Amino acid sequence: MVSAALHTTLGTALGWVADDATPSPAPAVNPDLVTPGTIGFIVTFAVMILAVLLIIDMTRRIRRVNMRQQVAEKLDAEEAARAAADRGPGAKK
């Protein structure tokens, strides 16, 4: 009797497992809703071009500042040398 009840219970449980439908693939997603498309490409390309132009401009500005600093240092050194020469070799500092 116990084995008949167990057999019936297992049969019912296994029947439920076997009766489950196999999963079907999810419906296809519309690519127009998940891809950036032409407009997204154009916007990304424009941002890239602007970034490159900004980098070029900043490089030019940094070089210009460095050159101005070098010229200012040269002028300061020449002015200090001229002032030392005007004071003469025996003058106090």
List, for residues 18-58, the tens digit of each pLDDT value. 556 677 777 788 877 888 889 999 999 999 999 999 999 99
The confidence score (pLDDT) of residue 15 equals: 57
Percent of the chain as helix, strand, coil, to the nearest 5 = 80, 0, 20
Contact 13, 5 (CB under 8 A): no
